[in-house]
Amino acid sequence: MSKKKSNEFDVIVVGAGPAGATVAIKLAKAGISVGLIDKDRFPRRKPCLGWVNGNVARLLDELEVASKQLLARPIQRVAFHNGELSKSSVPTLKDSPGFLIDRTVFDERMTNAAKRAGATLIEKCEVTSLEPYESGVNVLNAKGKTYHCELLVLANGASNAFRGQVGVGRSDVGGTRYSAVVEHAVDRKSNTSADIDIILGVTPQNGLAILTRQKDKVSLALNSAGDEESIREQFIDLATRLREKEMLDDGFPINPKSVQCGVSNVGPALELDSHVGKHTLLVGDAGGFIAAVSQEGNYPAMWSAKIAAETIESAMNAESSQDALMTFDTKWRLEMGDYLRPPNTDLQLLAPLIFSNQPMTDRMANAFFLGENI
């Protein structure tokens, strides 16, 4: 590795969430110089319900990030409900299908691991524009400073920003989805299990709500297509109905001000022509890597980032790095395509079966947590 100036890196990663941190850890471990840039300072709060797939444990092990504390709350009970809250079913689970994490702690540990691996974490640095040139990319920030890299990774979350600047075609095919979430502190000393209730078809736009219960926290999230204002309204309506059904206690805050809302999807990865721009790869939410059935983004963000890092490693040694980067599109589709894909059958049509037929309930759980087809 040649000696570089403090604003020069082999690879710059914009965004230090789970996707960006995963790329940074893997590349830094491989001896590649990495600048990991984020507009915030860590620990930072990211609106998130915090459920992660069981496969995250294996990924953390591979990244050598201590997982015991981060994944201390395995999900022990799952139930599906219909949007009217009139029908329920409980899948038979052989093992815990995932964990409930604290996103603030999780993301901070990941960025610390990136630093330990040798990456340079540049915080409070808002990237405002990208300028690809013949042999690299200039990364400009809000204070007028410019960073340089040979290859760039866009891991800036659910946003279309910068796609055009690096030559990736825009795609708004799937439309924007929002997620709204409320976390409510509780003290349930008698009950230490982590439970998850999944409510299907909450809104006419395929809305999905998840209610999690832990010993110290009850959280509710609603994910749906539509505009931010309508998601907030639908969230309040759902929370009110859950209270009436005694699935939420009276202390759970039901007012628009307590609802945190954010973009969760800017169009599915499968519908984007390419995730490769000029010297650039798109990963995580920035590339629409969200599972269609569960709207899960944390694990797909890390998975897509892992594949991107492996692609970049070979690109750094290739005669034409751009040609090597182009292999990313095929690699992630082969590995992740089935996991992210919507089911072959419309969920609305399947819904009655999910609540009347145990094998269908179990298949829905496998689709939700393992990305299997229903």
Ligand X SMILES: Cc1cc2nc3c(=O)[nH]c(=O)nc-3n(C[C@H](O)[C@H](O)[C@H](O)COP(=O)(O)OP(=O)(O)OC[C@H]3O[C@@H](n4cnc5c(N)ncnc54)[C@H](O)[C@@H]3O)c2cc1C
Query: In the stretch 120-159, what mask flags binding to ligand X with x, by CB under 6 A?
Result: ------xx---------------------------xxx--
User: Tokens 């809302």 correspond to what residue?
Assistant: 261
3 state DSSP class of 268: coil
Q: How far is the CB of 209 from ligand X (least distance, A)?
A: 11
Q: How far is the CB of 157 from ligand X (least distance, A)?
A: 3
Q: How far is the CB of 196 from ligand X (least distance, A)?
A: 9
- With respect to ligand X, which residue has the nearer C-beta, 147 or 355? 147
- With respect to ligand X, which residue has the nearer C-beta, 208 or 316? 208
Query: In the stretch 52-91, what mask flags binding to ligand X with x, by CB under 6 A?
Result: x---------------------------------------
- With respect to ligand X, which residue has the nearer C-beta, 179 or 280? 179
Is residue 371 near ligand X by the rule CB under 6 A?
no
- With respect to ligand X, which residue has the nearer C-beta, 254 or 360? 254
Is residue 340 near ligand X by the rule CB under 6 A?
no
Q: Which of 262, 322, 327, 366 contacts ligand X by CB under 6 A?
A: 262
The answer to whether 223 and 295 have CB atoms below 8 angstroms apart is yes
Is residue 47 near ligand X by the rule CB under 6 A?
yes
H-helix or E-strand spanning residue 321:
helix 321-340
- With respect to ligand X, which residue has the nearer C-beta, 14 or 121? 14
**β-bridge pairing 120-122 and 34-37:** parallel
Q: How far is the CB of 3 from ligand X (least distance, A)?
A: 26
For 3, 59, 115, 200, the CA distances from 310, given in Å and listed in that order, are: 23, 14, 19, 36
Is residue 51 near ligand X by the rule CB under 6 A?
yes
- With respect to ligand X, which residue has the nearer C-beta, 9 or 51? 51
Rounded Cα gap, residues 211 and 220, in angstroms? 4
- Virtual torsion, Cα 206, 207, 212, 218, nearest 10 deg: -170
Residue nearest ligand X, CB atom distance: 297
**Quick one: which segment of 40-48, 76-84, 187-195, 230-238 binds ligand X (CB under 6 A)?**
40-48
- Virtual torsion, Cα 276, 282, 287, 293, nearest 10 deg: 100
Q: How far is the CB of 327 from ligand X (least distance, A)?
A: 21
The answer to whether 34 and 119 have CB atoms below 8 angstroms apart is yes
- Provide the phi-psi class of 237: left if phi over 0, else alpha when psi is between -120 and 50, else beta: alpha
- With respect to ligand X, which residue has the nearer C-beta, 15 or 35? 15
Helices and strands, number each (H, E), in the chain: 8, 17
What DSSP letter does each residue of 132-200 carry, written as one string? EETTEEEEEETTS-EEEEEEEEE---S--TTTGGGTPPP--TT--EEEEEEEEE---TT---EEEEEEE
3 state DSSP class of 348: helix
Q: Which of 12, 27, 28, 49 contacts ligand X by CB under 6 A?
A: 49
Is residue 38 near ligand X by the rule CB under 6 A?
yes
The answer to whether 146 and 140 have CB atoms below 8 angstroms apart is yes
Query: Residues interacting with ligand X, by CB under 6 A?
Result: 14-20, 37-40, 46-52, 126-127, 155-157, 179, 181, 221, 262, 264, 284-286, 296-298, 301
